[in-house]
Amino acid sequence: MTTLIIFGLLLTLMLTGMPISISLGLTVLTFLFTMTQVPIESVALKLFTGIEKFEIMAIPFFILAGNFLMHGGVAKRMIRFATTLVGHWYGGLGLAGVVSCALFAAITGSSVATVVAVGSIILPAMVKQGYPQRFGAGVITTSGALGILFPPSINLVMYSIATAGMDVTGPDGMSVSTASVGQLFMAGVLPGLCLSVLLGLTTWYRAKKFDYPRLPRASWGERLQAFRECVWGLLLIVLVIGGIYSGIFTPTEAAAMAAVYAFIIAVFVYKDMGLKDVPRVLINAASMSSMLLYIITNAVLFSFLMASEQIPQAMAAWMTAQGLGVVAFLLLTNILLLAAGNFMDPSAIVLIMAPILYPVAVKLGVNPVHFGILIAVNMEVGMCHPPVGLNLYVASGITKMGITELTVAVWPWLLTMLGFLVAVTYLPGISLWLPRMLGMMH
């Protein structure tokens, strides 16, 4: 009954059009002050302790790094490099878009930033080359979502924060440690590469089927020159992933290093951004960071309410009693997350659903790292379908296409992503192979 009251109140507030962050906070405060005896001091204390985690500092730094790179000319150099590599194949510019999105996602960790930076450059070029606008929009809208999966994914950081410190036990009754940001970053690499290849194959197949244009084959000299131009941006991938894996710095320290490095290459190396532009970039990054931190703050309160009412434990006990196995639970999880993607943005979904589903998953024997990647892939799909798919709205702003037309355009790639979701769900090795090989987990 308690569960129905809490979620009924939350759903009612969201249906009024109230922002999710405020809906979460009001739900918690209303329930605590009317149906429990929890003192107000404990709420204030939980708010403070919930957002003082060291890992949270990684979020504003990665956002700042992404903003510097988005305005600093890195995207256009990556597109040029990708075009010299794959431009001569069927759908060359489309394939270059997939490669560029994968590379840019791997240095920003942001889906929306990837769509804006890559899409605003390559979509006009594709139309000029004779590609249908629908084809280009479908490629960039879906490939841009790779930012949720590739490190340094902000959503993976949020999953780690949402599940950190949860005292959960596995099917053997032993305590299970939560997934660290470093483990999740490494776990996202192979699935990110696999999905990039699948999206590229879909692009190539459709381009070959409809005989879309191809570019002349670039010489090795042109490829080398394009690589030299974008190498400073590519080095950021090495800095972040290499630094975390080698233990030189933590993910949060890697985020700070990434922000400083991105500032240096944008202003002093590529010089596409002047010092006068820096305050505007800082303000944009601060605005986005404060919005996410506000959501996190209210989500921490919501998690506190879940824990105090022992709702996740009750759900785990009920599902176990019903004989619900791992296969059925993971299927149910995917359905819930895809449904939530219809009316919530990825950050809110991760912060609300992870603390609820995570204890049940661990109780059934699902690896915490694998579960985090499964949620990330669901968030990728949610970014690309209406009515709340952010990538659709960003791509709509670039292409001036309607949401309905864009929805039709992305379907071939969206079906590919759904097929990949099934593979990631039931083949945990895709997520766990790399961190295990690197000795980061057993």
Torsion of CA 329, 330, 333, 338, to 10 degrees: -150
Three-state SS at 400? coil
Residues 6+ positions from 157 with CB-CB distance below 8 Å: 55, 56, 58, 59, 62, 181, 184, 251
Q: What's this model's pTM, rounded to 2 decimal places?
A: 0.85
- pLDDT score, position 51: 66
C-beta of residue 217 within 8 angstroms of C-beta of residue 102 = no
Neighbour tally for 102: CB within 10 Å: 26
Q: Provide the sign of the torsion angle of the four alpha carbons 15, 21, 22, 28, taken in this order.
A: positive
pLDDT by residue for the chain (442 residues), tens digit each?
677 787 788 778 877 877 777 887 788 878 777 777 777 777 777 677 666 676 778 888 888 888 888 776 788 888 889 889 888 888 888 899 899 888 888 887 778 778 888 888 888 888 888 888 889 888 988 998 888 888 888 888 889 888 876 767 767 667 677 788 889 999 999 999 999 999 999 999 999 888 888 888 888 888 998 898 888 888 888 888 888 878 788 888 888 898 898 899 888 888 888 888 888 888 988 887 887 777 777 777 777 777 777 777 677 677 767 777 888 889 989 988 888 877 777 887 888 888 888 888 888 888 999 999 999 999 888 888 776 677 888 888 888 888 788 888 889 999 999 999 999 999 999 999 999 898 877 6
The string of DSSP codes covering 96-162 is: HHHHHHHHHHHHH--HHHHHHHHHHHHHHHHHHHT--HHHHHHHHHHHGGGGGTSSS-HHHHHHHHH
C-beta of residue 95 within 8 angstroms of C-beta of residue 86 = yes
